């Protein structure tokens, strides 16, 4: 005996989510089935609206309900500096750090020849367009410290430097609260390489 | 800057699922947002149908699309033995083991005085009703090996024994493929207590 079809369908769909295997999907589906406060319907409605009500900013490609987004429109943000990230979720992570008051640019991916993703699939052209204005003095490349993210950073640096705009890369090193003993060799190597005078 | 409202709503709802914190919920929501094959709509529709299209069998309270369920209707199942489980998900777990060919009874919970759940909230009356027939010779109590599951097992045994029906409890012990060294004391104690002659 298997799950009833309606339940099997929810399990099947949930198990497509990243990090959710079939057992976890079944556990979640049973939880949803047992929940009593209209939760399945609320979740169903929220999912139905998700894509149609979430737009991309036509300037920086952040997720937004208004276009341009609130950050691009905010007069208090520093327009001389743009932080380039791979995904909209990365933008929100940087924003949560409260360490940056400039503008953003979401590439919507990274360069990955193995997956057939070249720079033309990314919002690189749009970034270069934004750099035509005299306002932008620096681009911080905050792509992930992965092979793809590093390749994207190197690619962007080569394109942007000739435009007389400073290009910087976020620092790699030991996470705050982290432990030298448990840090991997590459991170530790980067931490030493990127040392700063006290 | 926070998530756009439609995204925030999905994150909020997903983070109510068991084992899903806010960070995981955000990761899942971004995955859903980025998915391209109509996935959010499929998931939305599946969730909307989940409750209305999943019924409980009026005999054994298993999840089913037909009533009585396929197991209760199956003439090849052994009608002399009933396996009692806490939840419909436990029934499916026993069924997957292919170790049982009798009928089931889902209690829809366990006795837990601390949470205000007494036997009257469980499908105990319905179980006793099924035992009135001469067919049933044995009840296997397969409630969880938790305090509540054990209390439920003891309670059921006291009720059922006077009916001249054999009551048994599933074995507790070292999981297959498990390791003595890592087994907790209680499980190891139970494994020794429940030893069988070779």
Query: For residue B123, is it within any domain?
Result: yes
Which of B7, B17, B49 has its CB closest to that of A63?
B7
Number of domains chain B contains: 1
Query: For residue B64, is it within any domain?
Result: no
Query: For residue B125, is it within any domain?
Result: yes
Contact A1 B95 (CB under 8 A): yes
Q: Compute the average pLDDT of residues A157-182.
A: 88
CATH of the domain at B151: 3.40.1360.10
Is residue B47 pLDDT above 80, yes or no?
Answer: yes
Query: For residue A148, is it within any domain?
Result: yes
- Partners of residue A69 in chain B, C-beta under 8 Å: 1
Q: Under DSSP, is residue A178 helix (H, G, I), strand (E, B) or coil?
A: coil
Instruction: Give the residue numbers spanning the domain of A92.
Output: 77-169
Strand partners for A168: A140
For residue B128, give the nearest of B169, B91, B84 by alpha carbon.
B84
| Residue in chain A nearest B39 by alpha carbon | A13
In angstroms, the first-to-last Cα distance of chain A is 67
Contact A10 B48 (CB under 8 A): no
- Give the pLDDT of residue A171: 87
DSSP A174: P
Query: For residue B139, is it within any domain?
Result: yes
Contact A47 B70 (CB under 8 A): no
pLDDT tens profile A21-76: 999 999 999 999 988 879 999 999 999 999 888 889 999 999 998 889 999 999 99
Q: Under DSSP, is residue A185 helix (H, G, I), strand (E, B) or coil?
A: helix
- Give the pLDDT of residue A106: 96
Reported in sequence order, the residue ranges of chain B that DSSP labels E, i.e. its strands, are 55-56, 63-64, 78-85, 102-106, 138-141, 166-169
Is residue A1 pLDDT above 60, yes or no?
Answer: no
Query: For residue B134, is it within any domain?
Result: yes
Q: Are A144 and A107 in contact (CB under 8 A)?
A: no
Query: For residue B107, is it within any domain?
Result: yes
Choose the mutation target among A51, A63, A93, A95 for the interface with B, i.e. most B CBs under 10 Å: A51
Q: Compute the average pLDDT of residues B152-164.
A: 94
pLDDT tens profile A102-135: 999 999 999 998 888 899 999 999 999 999 887 9
Which of B1, B20, B54 has its CB closest to that of A71?
B1
- Give the pLDDT of residue B34: 87
Most trustworthy range by pLDDT among A143-147, A174-178, B7-11, B192-196: B7-11
Query: For residue B94, is it within any domain?
Result: yes
Contact B65 A32 (CB under 8 A): no
- Give the neighbor-by-neighbor strand order of the sheet with B138-141: B102-106, B78-85, B138-141, B166-169
Q: Compute the average pLDDT of residues B30-53.
A: 91
Contact B88 A30 (CB under 8 A): yes
Q: Under DSSP, is residue B139 helix (H, G, I), strand (E, B) or coil?
A: strand
Chain centroid to Cα B73, Å, comes to 20
In angstroms, the first-to-last Cα distance of chain B is 67
């Amino acid at each position: 005996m298997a799950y009833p079809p309606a339940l099997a369908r929810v399990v099947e769909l949930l198990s497509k989510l990243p990090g959710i295997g079939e057992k976890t999907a079944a556990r979640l589906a049973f939880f949803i089935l047992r929940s009593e406060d209209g939760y399945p319907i609320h979740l169903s409605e929220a999912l139905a609206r998700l894509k149609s009500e979430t737009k991309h900013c036509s300037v920086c490609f952040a997720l937004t309900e208004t276009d341009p987004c609130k950050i691009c429109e905010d007069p208090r943000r520093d327009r001389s500096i743009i932080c380039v990230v791979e995904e909209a979720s990365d933008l929100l992570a940087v924003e949560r750090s409260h360490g940056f008051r400039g503008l953003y640019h979401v590439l919507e991916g990274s360069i990955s020849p193995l997956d057939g993703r070249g720079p033309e699939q990314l919002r690189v052209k749009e970034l270069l367009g934004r750099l035509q204005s005299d306002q932008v003095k620096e681009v911080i490349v905050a792509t992930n410290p992965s092979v793809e993210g590093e390749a994207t950073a190197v690619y962007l640096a080569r394109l942007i430097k000739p435009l007389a705009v400073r290009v910087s890369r976020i620092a790699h090193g030991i996470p705050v609260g982290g432990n030298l003993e448990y840090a991997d060799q590459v991170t530790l190597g980067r931490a030493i390489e990127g040392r700063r005078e006290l």
